[in-house]
């Protein structure tokens, strides 16, 4: 065979192989798109005019917001103290940008640690009664980063079945043994602790306030069981800080068990009017996490504006206790109002009030009708909850007025009655 024929055969074989590889990649791409295109639930809800997500807010996050040029009452926010548009919080963020710029251009581990990060962490550790704290760029990253690395293969993580998704995701990434107990069921928790090997680490993880249904963890009993079985405890205070405890220090402070809780987690995106999160514990634990939590080491650090805003919000929370007092007055008023209407609100005792609908499409329909009547609330449907447990999440801010709440209660009463829910 001549050199020319060998070259032609080689070129032809190479071209054919290249074609097959490109064609295979194209087919694989189509397989992926074909698979993903089968998910059509959002399109169905949009076709019915009841799709409730990604509503564009054109104003600040206050008790009233503007959507599509229309004012609606906001009862879907986590800004429990109503500080997201506070002049001092906004000014602090602006001044931080002027001094430090818009971002840190790196992780905390390398070039992204600012003096204001450290100062805020010192204050947060003091707030929850721990030796040290470390801040992350989001609250989700705290739980994911901490729980994925803090225990080993032979250890145990024991967790409440309705914990926040960030906790569940962190546990999923852990190599430890995972044991789930029934929601806030202390008998179930003890049975799971009894399955753990006595000489291995056992970490109980729970929300302080459960974010969807607004009930509170039985921390005194959890602490008692932790001591009985030589276990450690981590509490997510995302919805507890700014709401419970002295000066808003959280559910651990409220129950007087802060010193018995090994790790306390919190976020900036609720009462602290910003974005970010933190974990607080003893010095040895924080030292370990600083050098092992991958969502901390490999993520850009919290922006200067976010840190400064959270710090300013913390100042206000500690110095203006009337805000928390008013939040609780509104909470008691709303809880009593919903009970009088006849709404099913579960076991909540907090500013998070679930209004059970127990039907996905009906939940979407009622959210839409409430929005048309000037009330913004959030739907919680499967798979976030079981399909028979779908609900509307109604949440309060300290800056709401009784008149606003009365309008919401009356409107909800009328719409629920139309759908024979009351």
Task: Give the catalytic positions in this structure.
Answer: 211, 239, 270
What residue has token string 């127990």?
358
Sign of CA dihedral 91, 94, 98, 104: positive
Give which of 162, 270, 361 is closest to 278, Cα–Cα: 270
Which CA distances in Å does 61 have to 274, 308, 347?
11, 18, 28
Encoded tokens for 405? 């709440």
- Which residues make beta-bridge pairs with 266? 278
Encoded tokens for 158? 């024991």
Other CB atoms within a 10 A radius of the CB of residue 244 amount to 22
| 8 A C-beta contact, residue 418 and residue 349 | no
Strands (E) located in 301-360: 352-356
Give which of 330, 355, 331, 329 is closest to 342, Cα–Cα: 355
Other CB atoms within a 10 A radius of the CB of residue 339 amount to 11
Terminal-to-terminal C-alpha distance of the chain: 90
Which CA distances in Å does 315 have to 43, 77, 89?
45, 21, 9
Give which of 275, 324, 326 is closest to 303, Cα–Cα: 275
| 8 A C-beta contact, residue 389 and residue 356 | yes
| 8 A C-beta contact, residue 208 and residue 216 | yes
What residue has token string 């929005």?
371
What residue has token string 């293969």?
153
Give which of 134, 116, 114, 115 is closest to 125, Cα–Cα: 134
């Amino acid at each position: 065979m001549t050199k020319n024929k060998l070259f032609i055969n080689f070129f032809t074989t190479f071209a054919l192989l290249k074609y097959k590889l490109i064609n295979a990649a194209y087919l694989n791409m189509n397989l992926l798109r074909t698979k993903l295109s089968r998910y059509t639930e959002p399109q169905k809800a949009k076709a019915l005019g009841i799709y409730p997500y990604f509503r564009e807010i054109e104003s600040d996050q206050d008790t009233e917001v503007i959507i599509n040029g229309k004012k609606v009452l906001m009862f879907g926010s986590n800004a429990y103290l109503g500080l997201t548009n506070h002049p001092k919080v906004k000014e602090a963020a602006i001044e931080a940008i002027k001094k430090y710029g818009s971002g840190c251009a790196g992780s905390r581990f390398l070039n992204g640690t600012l003096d204001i990060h450290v100062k805020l962490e010192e204050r947060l550790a003091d707030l929850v009664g721990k030796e040290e704290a470390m801040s992350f760029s989001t609250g989700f990253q705290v739980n994911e980063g901490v729980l994925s690395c803090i225990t080993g293969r032979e250890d145990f993580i024991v967790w409440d079945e309705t914990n926040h998704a960030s906790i569940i995701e962190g546990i999923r990434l852990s190599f430890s043994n995972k044991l789930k107990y029934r929601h806030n069921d202390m008998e179930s928790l003890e049975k799971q602790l009894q399955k753990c090997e006595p000489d291995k680490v056992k970490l109980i993880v729970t929300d302080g306030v459960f974010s969807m249904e607004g009930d509170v963890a039985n921390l005194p009993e959890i602490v008692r069981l932790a001591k009985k079985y030589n276990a450690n405890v981590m509490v997510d205070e995302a919805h507890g800080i700014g709401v419970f405890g002295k000066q808003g220090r959280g559910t651990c402070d409220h129950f007087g068990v802060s010193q018995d809780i090994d790790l306390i987690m919190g976020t900036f995106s609720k009462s602290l009017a910003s974005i970010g999160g933190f974990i607080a514990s003893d010095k040895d634990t924080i030292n370990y996490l600083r050098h092992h939590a991958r969502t901390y080491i490999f993520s850009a650090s919290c922006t200067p504006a976010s840190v400064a805003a959270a710090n300013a919000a913390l100042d206000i929370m500690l110095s203006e206790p009337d805000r928390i007092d008013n939040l609780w007055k509104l909470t008691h008023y709303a809880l009593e109002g919903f009970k009088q209407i006849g709404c099913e609100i579960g076991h909540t005792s907090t500013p998070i009030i679930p209004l059970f609908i127990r039907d996905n499409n009906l939940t979407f329909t009622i959210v839409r009708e409430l929005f048309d009547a000037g009330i913004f609330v959030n739907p919680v449907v499967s798979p976030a909850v079981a399909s028979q447990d779908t609900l509307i999440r109604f949440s309060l801010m300290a800056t709401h007025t009784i008149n606003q709440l009365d309008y919401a209660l009356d409107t909800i009463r009328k719409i629920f009655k139309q759908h024979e829910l009351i």
